[in-house]
Amino acid sequence: MQTLTARRLLTPIGSVEYPVITVGDDGLIAEIESDPTLPHANDTLTAAFLDVHTHGGMSHDVMTASPKDFVEFNRFLATRGVGQYLATTVTAPIDATLRGLEAIADEIERAHDGVATPIGVHLEGPFISHAKRGVHPEGDILPPSIELFDRFQAAARGHIRLITIAPEIPGALDLIAHCKALGVRVSLGHTNATSPETQAGIDAGASSATHTYNAMRALDHRAPGVLGTVLDSSSLFAELICDGIHVAPELVRLWLKAKGPELAILVTDSMSAAGMPDGAYTLGTFDVAVAEGKALLKSDLDRGKETLAGSILTMDKAVANVQAMTGASLGIAVNLASANPARMLGLEPAIRPGTVGNFNRFAASGRLEQTILRGKAVN
């Protein structure tokens, strides 16, 4: 049994002053009480983070990572406050995607203790728009196909939990409906969709939007397109990469005002260079150059063009950034990185007896100072 104390505990539904949390040997919360008589530091416990969009870190890409690579990556995520994540693919040749999904499924099914746990796959591509492909290889982008998705899901042994799709492509709406019927969440992204095309995707079953603003048709005051519809929707969750590079602070504030504290989701979209120094890295099958906080597609950079290739953001920095840019409280910022992605996936976000004892401890300054997974401190 492990006992955790703090000055306060922030949960998705409120706070507990002077909490005393007992976590059993099984890693599950056994009891939450309050005792103001015990000595406490001026610190705050919150839920650990859930990153639903990460491609890798510590020089490892989830599509090519070995079991040893995953151990290092999972440890790294844990030190940045992440308790669970979706291993996120990128558009690649079909055979490479199938191999990657099989290896990720192996990792998901392994036991994890004291490290971040992959709980599923986010399939980003290949069913995306050529016009808004970003760094996804043009030759590997494919039209939406239920048959091919089912092959991917079979290779992943049912672990695909989220898929990014451009709703305007012929066949997309059928695939969205198919995924919804299987319980797989659909996120609209890498899309040049008009407003009616976006709404059709929502009506077919889409529940989120992938890295809002990025790889989307630009907003026009007479033709709001996908971005206007995503921000205006009262039902759609919306991811955002809050690194100060992908989205300007003014538009971070607009995103949070539009989606509110219930539908906004922080993601990292981190690639293999996260946690590493500047240099040459890979994302899927292509080369990326990292310098001064930016991850750029090497082939475009050689031609004098800057194309962002994911990020080197970590979730603790995303949570700090959104507070600095918007004035959001720690509780709201943490919910954007924990409770909201959980609810988007259909998971229970509550901190209560019977749930996993994954927590982050923040100092009075707001700095993340400790991650606790299954009741045990990992850093």
Q: Please indicate if the annotation marks 310 as binding a ligand.
A: yes
Asked if residue 349 lies in contact with residue 278, where contact means CB atoms within 8 angstroms, the answer is no
Q: What would the two tokens of residue 234 be?
A: 């009262």
Q: Please indicate if the annotation marks 222 as binding a ligand.
A: yes
Q: Please indicate if the annotation marks 112 as binding a ligand.
A: no
CB within 8 Å of 161: residues ≥ 6 apart: 86, 119, 120, 121, 122, 184, 185, 345
* Alpha carbon distance 305, 134 (integer Å): 12
Residues tagged active-site = 269
H-type alpha helices, 109-218 = 146-155, 172-182, 195-204
Mapped onto helix, strand or coil, the DSSP state of residue 263 is helix
Asked if residue 66 lies in contact with residue 80, where contact means CB atoms within 8 angstroms, the answer is no
Q: What would the two tokens of residue 257 be?
A: 């005002």
Q: Please indicate if the annotation marks 135 as binding a ligand.
A: yes
H-type alpha helices, the chain = 67-79, 94-108, 146-155, 172-182, 195-204, 225-232, 249-263, 298-301, 315-326, 330-336, 339-344
Q: Please indicate if the annotation marks 308 as binding a ligand.
A: yes
Asked if residue 213 lies in contact with residue 251, where contact means CB atoms within 8 angstroms, the answer is yes
Please confirm whether the linkage preceding 126 is cis (ω < 30° from 0): yes
Q: Please indicate if the annotation marks 109 as binding a ligand.
A: no
Q: Please indicate if the annotation marks 360 as binding a ligand.
A: no
Q: Please indicate if the annotation marks 184 as binding a ligand.
A: no
CA distances from 198 to 60, 177, 363 (A): 34, 14, 42
* Alpha carbon distance 114, 378 (integer Å): 6
Which residues line the annotated binding site for substrate? 135, 214-215, 222, 246, 308-310
Q: Which residue numbers belong to the known binding site?
A: 124, 135, 190, 211, 214-215, 222, 246, 308-310
Query: Can you say which residues are annotated as belonging to the binding site for Zn(2+)?
Result: 124, 190, 211
